[in-house]
Amino acid sequence: MISSIPLSATLLAALSLTAPALAGPLASPKRGLVFTPNNTTPEDDKIWVQSPSSLTWYYNYGESPSAVFDEVPQSKFEFVPMMWGVSPDTSNITFLNTVKSLIKDKGINITHALSFNEPDLSWEYGGSNVDPESAAQAYVKNFIPLRKMGVKVGLPACAGHPEGLVWLQDFLDKCSAILSEGGSKKNCSYDFVPFHWYGNFEGLASHMGSYSAVFPKDKFWITEYNINNQDLGSTQDFYNMSAEYFDRLEFVERYSLFGAFRSDVSNVGANAAMLNRDGNLTDIGAWYLGRPGTGVDPLSGAGKSKSAALRLGLPQLGSVWLGTVVAAAVLLGA
């Protein structure tokens, strides 16, 4: 499926699909946290902001900042609000009002906002399950006014499969049509283009090529990515190659690895997790924060749970974000 995506020679050259340097990169200001806290292990939450940490921003799939980071100034660790999905009344502007209030009442310098999370996937796969027309209506109501206030806004973050781009182009057409109603022709406006990826490095580069072909002048944010359910060596290779790639590409503005959790609750496989079963940073976790490796095996530690499924690192049903990865795995035939 991945190889069916056409990639021009020019694009391939532009993306430099050559072997990257052996050692992975150190700290990067592009790096952020996808914050997926778990009530049973609140002691892990502060790990991401302990010094030294290369992380400069975070999102939590929600509209409001996470209280646990209240002490950390927005200028050091930027909260980026997200409107996860769309309610049946697409003229609902709760999101817009919340962000305005964060800025005006709470004095938080919100400079970027994320729109819908995997609207192209159904709820059972963790997507927000929104059709392009409803998404366009909600986007025009909530995000166009934010742009006018100077907040930079991202297009919806589609899942890592070719259908995501089809959804996105449909969305852009619908959004442009709404903005052009009864007046001169206008294009849907946005500031950056987020997307997700689960799979190997070649697939990631190919998917990036597809986005580059459609959005040749735009900045990208990779707001969820990892290689799921692979051995430790392959997972670490993928981590180093993708981090080096994102840091090198000028049009990749930000990225956030999906993996800020313990290996025993990971739904992307234990080796992709940034913490072992006891909440110690693994090599990848430490590298991501810009620190030297710890040598901690993701599978090590006693863990908190007695469940056999957890010990085997099997996917946990019922989490908000689980489906993303399951869907990616299904779609990619992983």
The HSE-up count of residue 186 (CA atoms within 13 Å, CB side) is 15
Tokens of residue 60, six digits: 């939590």
CA separation for the pair 112, 80 (Å, rounded):
6
Q: Residue 48 CA to chain centroid, in angstroms?
A: 16
Specify whether the CB–CB gap between 81 and 63 falls below 8 A: yes
**Is residue 306 involved in binding ligand NAG (CB under 6 A)?**
no
Binding to ligand NAG (CB under 6 A): which residues in 5-34?
22-24
Binding to ligand NAG (CB under 6 A): which residues in 103-132?
109, 111
Number of amino acids touching ligand NAG (CB under 6 A): 31
**Is residue 190 involved in binding ligand NAG (CB under 6 A)?**
no
Instruction: Give the nearer residue to ligand NAG in terms of CB position, either 223 or 263.
Output: 263
Residue 291: Cβ within 10 Å count: 16
**Is residue 145 involved in binding ligand NAG (CB under 6 A)?**
no
**Is residue 89 involved in binding ligand NAG (CB under 6 A)?**
yes
**Is residue 56 involved in binding ligand NAG (CB under 6 A)?**
no
* Of the candidates 51, 50, 48, the residue with the CA atom closest to the CA atom of residue 35: 48
Would you give the binding string for ligand NAG spanning residues 239-258, x where CB under 6 A is met? Answer: -x------------------
CA separation for the pair 272, 299 (Å, rounded):
11
Residue with the CB atom nearest ligand NAG in the bound state: 24
Q: How far is the CB of 225 from ligand NAG (least distance, A)?
A: 16
CA separation for the pair 38, 279 (Å, rounded):
12
Specify whether the CB–CB gap between 326 and 267 falls below 8 A: yes
Stretch that binds ligand NAG, among 8-16, 87-95, 145-153, 323-331 (CB under 6 A): 87-95
Kindly give, in sequence order, each residue whose CB lies less than 8 Å from that of residue 241, ignoring residues fewer than 6 positions away.
Answer: 20, 24, 201
Residues that bind ligand NAG (CB under 6 A): 22-24, 38, 40-41, 83, 87, 89, 92, 94-95, 109, 111, 185-187, 236-237, 240, 265, 278-280, 287, 293, 296, 304-305, 316, 319
